[in-house]
Structure 1
Amino acid sequence: MKLTWFRKGTIYQIYPRSFNDSNNDGIGDLRGIIEKLDYIKSLHIDIIWLSPIFSSPNDDNGYDISDYCSIMPEFGTMEDFDELLKETHSRGMRLILDLVANHCSDEHIWFEEAKKSKDNPYRDYFHWRKPGSDGNVPNNWKSFFGGSAWEYDEASGEYYLHLFTKKQPDLNWENPKVREEIYNAMRFWLDKGVDGFRMDVIPLISKAIGYPDAPDVGFRKIIEDVYANGPTVHEYLKEMNEEVISKYDAFSLAEGVGINESNAGLYINEDRKELDMLYHFDILECTIVNGKFEEVSPFNLVEMKKIFKNWRDAVHRTGWIANAMGNHDFARMVSRFGDDKKYHSESAKMLVTMLSTQNGTLNIYQGDEIGMTNITLNEIDEVRDIQSLNFYEENQLTKRYSEDLALKMINKEGRDNARTPVQWNDEINGGFSLNQPWLKSNPNSTEINVKNQDEDSSSILNFYRDLLKIRKRYDVFVFGDFEEIEFDNPNVYIYKKKLGKEEIMVLLNFSSSEETCCHKNGIRKESKVLVNNYEYVGIEDDRVLLKPYQGLILDLK
């Protein structure tokens, strides 16, 4: 397998609306990102991924695009983007954009034209169906954000499909004109020098033939079996690669919704020439049973180990994945998988130690490098996320949960947790903006912020910097063969990795108690410590002692 630049690299995801506000209007912008490029470079980042910056009415914060080739005015101008791209490249980093190709905005000219009449040239850019036999929706498909996936159009007497909000009509990829429109938009940005695309919900672009009713199973299973992996998805992805991506020094990163380890190879095996890599949802959703809010299970370390192993076994040496434990769609990493109170610093450092030593490209989400945590929104008026608001509104009708409990569920798993403004210093709004941000700033910004941690050699921020610098030197972190130890241990995750002459051991304590590991497996007292989130190294004659949430990497050679 080719060791290309994007496989060994580290990706830093920016959610522009919440990153840095340069003009103090409460909304992050492109010039705000330019101001922080040296900071991003200091993290030893290789690739910046921008969540959508295109023109949009913002029903879903930019994931509803009204023009694929223009910049959202709130974020700046095309000149600002050109400068951002130039300045990113001048620092030796790459830039990829978020391609939202499954759907667009209902305010896009394509959809506005499509609604005018059934014989409009743009009508077939979307999925239209007559009412079902009972006079209602064509089938029982549900939106990812709650309610039916079909919206009635009074003028034509037909429904259109929207797997997300009703302002995000799904594009009809069976129409070659639609595909060419998307390819032309990709070429527009690639010709500017963009280095690739993160492809939003790309496994959904091919719809099930005949739009069959979904079976009565959990929503995650419906996504895999009905919404994703459609009959022509691989034909389209091969075409996209052949017509566009392969013509440039660029790569494609798929959001792997609906993909599992058994069919991942169809998307990312190198010889198939479809996608370059994907990040899957099995880790991100490992505490979510069926639906983000209602059913949440306790974190189980052994189950997480199985997920990493299953994916590694499925794609090792044939395909490539990106590893993520946080992004703009999930609650904060340290709040979900660590301890954001007593062991905040220790657990944040331990988690990235694990993530950086899994085979694959490392994904870091903005703010995780300082251990940003979930926020408490005290009333529904403070909530901004459409998914959370739809859940709350639906609950108002069903009365399944009390209003207080519904808000608690939103606070635990809602997407606003990851979208609070980045905390740059201890000043007003965490230094993000002098004016009220579009989303409430986390009050803990007075303690958790970049300025405080930049000046503290033992901080989470400087741990990230040191770790990612070491990761660049050791290929075994990214490509090594695994040997897992004490696999069934529910509190400790231990593994050895070997690549050529490089050999490391990673020891991770996921608990708030001290843990004893009895299998030394080549550990010696004189083993070189590459990474440690404590000053303490508990190597004794026949055992290793790990402090709460300790993360340790040893060079066995």
Structure 2
Amino acid sequence: MQPNSNETLWWQRGVIYQIYPRSFKDNNNDGIGDLKGVITKLDYLSELGIDTLWLSPIYPSPMADFGYDVSDYCDINPMFGTLADFDTLIKEAHQRGLYVIIDFVPNHSSDQHPWFVESRSSRNNPKRNWYFWEDPKEDGSLPNNWLSVFGGPAWEWDETTQQYYLHSFLKEQPDLNWRNPEVKQAMFDAIQFWLERDVDGFRIDVAHYIMKDPHLSDNPPNLEKTIGFKPMGEYDSQLHVNDIGHRDIHVVMREFRALLDRYSTSRPRFSVGEIHIFDWAKWATYYGEKLDELHMPFNFGFIGAAWNPQAFQKVIEGVEGALPQGAWPNYVLGNHDEHRIASRIGPESARTAMMLLLTLRGTPTIYYGDEIGMHDVDIPPELEQDPWGKNVQGIGVGRDPERTPMQWDTTPNAGFSAPGVQTWLPVADDYTEINVASQRNDPNSTLTFSRRLLALRRATPALHAGKYSTVQQANGQCLVYLREYQGEQWLVALNFSSEAQDLHLPINQGGQIVLSTRLDREESVNPNSLHLRGNEGCIIKLADN
């Protein structure tokens, strides 16, 4: 598909920027980021060149899983501010031409949510069937063999009512029963609450989890020991065919999309789902046969890919090949659950990865701080916060390292909180070198590179809406591709190696380097003889044929 750039929608043209609110900007100096802090940084985000803010959960929550255990779907956690603050954020963002999407957590609530408090109070209350309650098997064992992502069985015994309840994640996160129409209506009412407050869309947390096998059948063993994109311990011992992704999920997604579409008369509202599926044909079903489900299922293929051109080319071509006609692709390098790209592949390669992300067809998502080259921070055990890291130890699933405070300037606490405040997670030791203020006016900084790259993408229809095609060439260390739009051709050449590479590309016309990851090349070049330094990427405007 090659859409007319003028006909692409805001969420297709734009770049999503994920904000983890706890870690972005602390306005009231309690060590935790908040909505007023985000508001103070809207001008920065506008200048950066992103288009859409995605806010991780800001709902009232006991914070067993840092907001993904929701105790009220229609309010703001006082830790982050008030509904009035949220309304101000929406208004101020829209005034700057920015869009706002929020996390929505439909698979499970908090065990402190009034719904679950009532549900567990007896066996015969109106909310009992809002969750999954089951007797033990006759031999006294668990209802089935399902496992929690966060370690151990997915069933927790309730002494009061003498039954088990299901939790795909923490025991403090009981799964909601979406086969109960009252549950579905309550959740859709919550979505409408935020649409009425003028949000532009939703990121749906673990969207493929919400419909399970109605018979609660056991999962079969994972005999071939296949894993997703990272090892998850005991959870990998099963094939998750009955606890995740039952076909009825597509019915719910169509109903959810219809609700969004009813609010899309003034401007399109948008949905993106967290879908950890790497069989691209199966992944693509979440767009819907008639493109009537999610606008986009998140594509996490790059996160698990080895840093080599063959692995990344395989993801790109797999995704492009699986897309239904008219569907829009997307790419992401990191988020609040994954180690930062600069730590996974190194700071120089991270620039090359950013160039890749922002020159592919589709909607890219940037994680806060990646634009300045933030990296993971080693968290000592006594300061560890993440329950996943505490429950499943020894395989590196803890998520604290990538959630540390945003580094704004060289003052103590990096300008995230006032000096002397105990921040919820420690600030990186090298914040005096890696921060917004130090990089803002440095012509060679990662922030300058990110801003120039974002500006080029926005100004160049070929880079955000044009046709993608891989350039077949002999150098196994480089990925090269063309972006074409209305006769205009752009060449992107990326060196995945730390060694210099010489490319001899089957391209006849000359070109001009418009941007290098080194920020020091803008010369004319001949693609038949193109030299790339180690870890260098170049965007080249080809001459007209």
Normalising by structure 1, report the TM-score.
Answer: 0.90
Equivalence for 2:233: none
Q: Residue 269 of structure 1 contacts residue 318 of structure 1 at CA under 8 Å; is this kept in 2? A: no
Match for residue 331 of structure 1?
339
2:366 to 356, 364, 367: 364
8 Å CA contact retained: 2:69, 2:173: yes
Q: Does 1:386 align with 2:387?
A: yes
Q: Show CA shifts across 1:171-224 (max 9, x none).
A: 100001001111100111100111010101111111023112112214547566
Contact 1:260–1:280 (CA under 8 A) maintained in structure 2: no
Could you say if the C-alpha distance between residues 169 and 508 of structure 1 is closer, same or farther in structure 2, counting changes exceeding 3 Å? Answer: same
The residue aligned with 1:401 is none
Return the offset for 1:107.
Answer: 0.3
* Residue matched to 1:148: 153
Tell me which amino acid in the other structure corresponds to 1:530: V
Count of residues in correspondence between the two structures: 520
1:225 corresponding residue in structure 2: 241
One-letter identity of the residue aligned with 1:260 = D
User: C-alpha deviations, 1:502-552, integer Å up to 9, x for none?
Assistant: 21110001111111212242352xx12222122246946842111111010
2:186 corresponds to 1:181: yes
Q: Is the CA contact 1:56–1:65 (under 8 Å) kept in the aligned structure 2? A: yes
* Residue 356 of structure 2 corresponds to residue 354 of structure 1: yes
1:458-537 paired onto structure 2 within 5 Å: 458-486=444-472, 489-524=475-510, 527-534=511-518, 535-536=520-521
Describe the SS at the equivalent of 1:262: helix
Say whether the 8 Å CA contact 2:513–2:524 is kept in structure 1: no
Aligned to 1:268: 287
CA contact (8 A) 1:269 1:319 kept: no
| Deviation by residue 1:307-336 (Cα, 9 ceiling, x = unmatched) | 111001111643123210111010001211
TM-score (norm 2): 0.91
The secondary structure found in structure 2 opposite 1:211 is: coil
Partner SS for 1:452: helix
Contact 1:270 1:319 in 2 (8 A): no
Contact 1:29 1:75 in 2 (8 A): yes
Using the TM superposition, name which of 127-136 and 186-195 deviates more. 127-136
**What residue identity is the alignment partner of 1:416?**
D
**Counterpart in the other structure of 2:530:** 544
Question: RMSD across aligned C-alpha pairs, in angstroms?
Answer: 1.9
Separation in 2, partners of 1:145, 1:229: 18
Post-superposition shift, 1:421? 0.3
Matched residue SS, 2:280: coil
Equivalent of residue 38 in structure 2, options 8, 33, 49: 33
Q: Find the partner of 1:414 among 398, 403, 406.
A: 398
Say which SS state the counterpart of residue 142 (structure 2) adopts.
Answer: coil
**Partners of 1:465 and 1:197 in 2: CA distance:** 26
- Using a 3 Å threshold, how does the CA distance of structure 1 residues 384 and 487 change in structure 2: closer, same or farther? farther
Whole-Å separation in 1 of the counterparts to 2:484 and 2:324? 14
Q: How do 1:394-413 and structure 2 match up within 5 A?
A: 406=394, 409-410=395-396
Gaps of at least 5 residues in structure 2 are 229-235
Which residue pairs with 1:427 in the alignment?
Answer: 411
Identity value in percent = 39
Per the alignment, residue 443 of structure 1 pairs with: 429
Aligned twin of 2:254: 238
Distance across 1 between alignment mates of 2:359 and 2:83: 38
Q: Distance in 1 between matches of 2:527 and 2:195?
A: 57
Q: Does 1:310 align with 2:312?
A: no
Residues 115 and 329 of structure 1, relative CA distance in 2, 3 Å threshold: same
Match 1:253 to one of 240, 253, 272: 272
- Give the AA of the match of 1:8: R
2-structure distance, mates of 1:441, 1:269:
42
Name the SS of the counterpart of 1:225 in structure 2.
coil
Indicate the SS of the match to 2:74.
Answer: strand
8 A contact 2:132–2:165 mirrored in 1: yes
CA distance in 2, matches of 1:529, 1:541: 10
Q: Measure how far apart 1:15 and its partner are.
A: 0.2
In structure 1, runs of 5+ residues without a counterpart are: 288-298, 393-405
> What amino acid sits opposite 1:376 in the alignment?
D
CA offsets per residue over residues 107-149 of structure 1, 9 Å max, x none? 0000000001111100111111111243121111111111111
Counterpart of 1:308, as a letter, is I
